[in-house]
Amino acid sequence: MGQDAAGHGRLTRLGRAVRAAAGGGHGAAGPEHREGHQTNRLRDVILGGQDGLVNILGIILGVIAGGGSKAVLLAAGFSAAITESISMGAVGFTSTLSDRDYYQAERVRETGEIEDTPEAEQQEIRDIYAAKGFTGDLLDRVVDTITANRETWLDTMMDEELHLRPVQTRDILRSAVVITVATLIGHMIPLLPFVWLPRRTALITAIGLSAVVLFGVGAYEAVTRVGDWRRKGLQMVAIGLGAAAIGFLIGRLFHAAGT
């Protein structure tokens, strides 16, 4: 009894439907929702931070390889840091806004289908849960419970059939802010050493810091999701530094052409 009560809040929508069909009431949907938010937040941090770090490191290597002065390097670096951070935040905002608009459009369409062809939509619910292994009287009760409430029915179709989750206005703003801040921080990691250190020392420090941060991000992603943390960390380092090295090669080409 105690274990059942403790696990009540962790039930999926399917579990809640079965509990309701059996007369056990409705469980909370909070943990599912929070898990989705945490996943999206991690995605935004990785997207912004990795992009900012790799981009600015590529600019630094390109400016140095091209023979640019420290003043040129800092001017280009800070200009890119500010403009790209704002740009990435704007991209995150419009992308999440597009997700919300798509969800709302699909919800309107699904609402129309439930109103116009309820029998067909009810059969879709039956097919979904039959595919999960429900049969007989239990399947009938699950379908009847879900379709007895229009909002529950609609939410289930959006989730189980279309695999879409609602996007709140606060999520749109949060995504834009997180990506902007993460991108700016990513820019600062390899750039700030050039503010205080001699150029050669700063370059070594910037590459070292970038490698450590990239490895940490890859390892953390593996630990919180799936995969070997060492392999994921090294993979992130190889991809990030490899992409930044392209900036160095381009700088060398321009420097060679200029001489």
- Taking a C-beta distance cutoff of 8 angstroms, is the pair 138, 21 a contact? yes
Tokens 């090295």 -> residue: 245
Instruction: Kindly state the helix (H) or strand (E) to which residue 10 belongs, with its residue range.
Output: none
Summarize pLDDT for 16-63 with one digit per residue, the tens: 545 444 343 444 444 444 455 555 667 777 777 777 888 888 888 888
- Taking a C-beta distance cutoff of 8 angstroms, is the pair 56, 244 a contact? no
Q: Stretch 100-126: mean pLDDT, rounded?
A: 90
pLDDT score for 259: 54
Q: Which amino acid is at 243?
A: A
For helices 30-65 and 70-116, the axis angle rounded to 10 degrees is 150
CA angle 120, 159, 150 (to 5 degrees): 55
What phi and psi, each to the nearest 5 degrees, are found at residue 116? -85, -40
pLDDT confidence band for 109 (50 / 70 / 90): very high
